[in-house]
Amino acid sequence: MDRYNAEGYPDPTAAEALENIMREEKAKNYKPCVFICFPFAGDIEKNLNKAREYLKFAVKQGTIPFAPHLLYPQVLDDGDPEQRKLGLYFGMVWLRKCDELWVFGRYISKGMQAEINKASKHRIPIRYFSENCEEVQKL
C-alpha cells in the first residue's frame, strides 16, 4: 500500500483508510475451509452418498469444504494397509490447513476419532451435525 500522496508526501490517514476498505472487502468474500469428518468404512456406498450431501450442505453454508474420503480412495486402495495409512496421513495434513472440523453422524469411527483428536490438539474448532445436517451438541 502506497503511504505517500501524489506529491510524494507521507499520507498515513489515506493509506490506513484504503487498507481498512480492502480488509472489509476481503472479509465479505471470506469463506472458511472446513474439513468434513464422517464414517467411511462399512457401507461405503451409503457413506459416500451421505458425504456428498454433507459437502453440498457445507457449500450452502458458505464454506469451502474438504472431504479426503471422497478424494483419496479414487487413487489409493483402502484395503492395502500402507496405502490406507498414506491416505490417512494426507487427510491429517489437510485438516491442519482447515479453519474448522465438521463431524457428521452419531457413530464416531476410529479414523474420525483420530481427526477429532488432531483438531482438538491444534485448537481447530469442532462442530457436530446429525446425519440430517442439523447442528447438535457434541455427540
Whole-prediction pTM: 0.77
Sign of the dihedral defined by the CA atoms of residues 4, 7, 8, 11, in that order: negative
Q: Give the pLDDT of residue 6.
A: 73
Q: Give the pLDDT of residue 129.
A: 96
**Could you read off the pLDDT of 75-85 as tens digits, one per residue?**
999 889 999 89
Q: Give the pLDDT of residue 98.
A: 97
Give per-10-residue mean pLDDT for the chain (139 aa): 71 76 72 93 85 95 94 89 92 96 93 95 96 87
**Could you read off the pLDDT of 23-42 as tens digits, one per residue?**
777 667 789 999 999 988 77
Q: Which string of DSSP letters, residue by residue, matches the chain?
A: ---B-TTS-B-HHHHHHHHHHHHHHHHHH---EEEEE---SSSHHHHHHHHHHHHHHHHHTT-EEE-HHHHGGGTS-TTSHHHHHHHHHHHHHHHHH-SEEEEESS---HHHHHHHHHHHHTT--EEEE-TTS-EES--
CA distance 91 to 70: 11
Q: Give the pLDDT of residue 119.
A: 97
